[in-house]
Chain A
Amino acid sequence: MEMNIYAYKCKKCGHVQYPYRTICRNCHKNEHNEFDIVPLPKSGKLLTYTNLYTLPPDFEVVTLGLGIVELEDGNKITGQLNIDKPKIGMKVKGKVEVVRRDEYNEYMGMIFYPA
């Protein structure tokens, strides 16, 4: 089954937020966990990016591509990039894959490729 990154849709006002907040940023009226969990879209356009050369521990690559993507529904997400020559405004498509591994865990997140 295809994996997703999930956003939180307020049951009071319908606003979709990512990442999670206990209180809806739009209406401030929800009760605890009063959200529908909805998958974020995976297509969007690259808003900005960087290649990181001084890497955190756990990363065994020379540079790490990171970017902010504006998704089709207007939500934005930070993710890793697997793109040779990124360009602001280019169309990208995400896949949920392992983005970080440490001694104990693997962390799943969005990696973007050219669309």
Chain B
Amino acid sequence: MREVYVAGIGITSFTRLEYPLIEIAAYPALMALRDSSLDKIDHLYVANMGAGRLNHQTGLASAVVDNLSLTPAGADGIENGPASGASAIKQGFLAVASGMHDVVMVIGAEKMREVNNLEATEFVATLTHPLAEYIYGVTLPSLAGMFTRLYMEKYGVTSRHLAMVAVKNHANAMLNPFAHLHEPITIEGILDSPEAATNNPFVADPLRFFDCCPVSDGAACLILTSAEVARKCGRPMVRLAGVGQATDTHAVHDRKDPTELLAVREAARQSFAMAKLKPTDVNVAELHDAFTILEIAESEEVGFFPKGQGHIALEKGLTKLGGQLPINTSGGLKAKGHPVGATGVGQAHEIVQQLRGEADKRQVKNAKIGFTCNFGGFGNNVVCLTFVREN
């Protein structure tokens, strides 16, 4: 396999965007082309989950490649639930690594605010098992609620730990101009004050409003190239060094121990093995915190902390900016936002910025190795990526 580099990046704000989906997808692509000084590509992958259902738009990749005047480059759409973004990056990686293409553009794009929050949640609930989960009214927040309760019982995680994740990620998002929520919060405000019950109500207990990510529009883009092309582009050399993916049972109840996220564990293991690195080598990570509990659980399953110790690491401040291993410096899904199909590409965008030393006020000093975990379904399809800054 050839080595694969990130030669250009771009992103929109993750928020409510008034542009049509095709233009939302095209904007970060223009930025990434300018960033890399490239004006032609061999192939385009577009990650998206809901265009057919939410935006009355199918064949998104064909529409976007023409909007960017990049025809006749090949173009494929990738729908893999909330892991679509990293899945598309994986396809781009394979295309360059195999030698089939030298320049591949990967876009993740989603426009969810076309519908209201309940409809968006209902759309995402179509990920669940149709007969064993969906008919009961199971949504992603309900699966996360049941997971959290069991996690609390087993490992001593409390609502206070969950709130600490939210407070940390909201604080990080304050330093990210592209984040959806620019809203500083405190434990006092969302948990202890008399107003907490009204401003932070239960969504799926024990999960509250501030434990859940917002519904966002947004898009991000990465241009992946061979080493030869990347050197010509002249941007800092960031290599996509490890790619791992694994699946788990469709219905969450079908897992031997529902608190174990085996697909996260396996995808991370593969990604580190390919990169010839260990979890302890990582300087900065973006984990898929669609719900606050997931940042804690994933920080254990990918190997940063022992099982059951993620909340202790959080308590000690290890995962804060300035800590030993900052997690979700972008604000995470929790505060940067979660345009489902774009999220995995957005996570990679943050890591590339960090490894280039271009993350401004949220820069992790001397970050050389970065990691992302993009989590589909409720952990039934997970893609982990490892990035390395060279020279």
Contacts and interface: CB of A to CB of B under 8 A. Distances in A.
Nearest to A64: B137
Q: How large is the interface on B (under 10, 10 to 19, 20 to 34, 35 or more residues)?
A: 35 or more
Interface string B237-258: 0000000000000111110001
Contact of A88 (B133, B141, B149): B149
Interface in B92-142: 117-119, 121-122, 125, 129, 131-133, 135-139, 141-142
Contacts of B129: 19
B136 A51 contact: no
Interface stretch (B155-163, B200-208, B369-377): B200-208
Contacts of B153: 48, 88
Q: How large is the interface on A (under 10, 10 to 19, 20 to 34, 35 or more residues)?
A: 20 to 34
Contact of A66 (B117, B136, B150, B201): B136
Interface of A: 18-20, 47-59, 64, 66-68, 76-80, 88, 99-100, 107, 109
B17 interface: no
B148 to A, nearest CB: 8
A57 B125 CA distance: 11
A100 B202 contact: no
A78 B201 CA distance: 24
A99 B146 CA distance: 19
A78 B132 contact: yes
B145 interface: yes
Nearest to B128: A78
B147 interface: yes
Contact of A52 (B131, B204, B206): B204
Given A19-B131, A76-B253, A48 B146 contact: yes
Interface string B151-186: 001000000000000000000000000000000000
A66 B150 CA distance: 13
B146 A109 contact: no
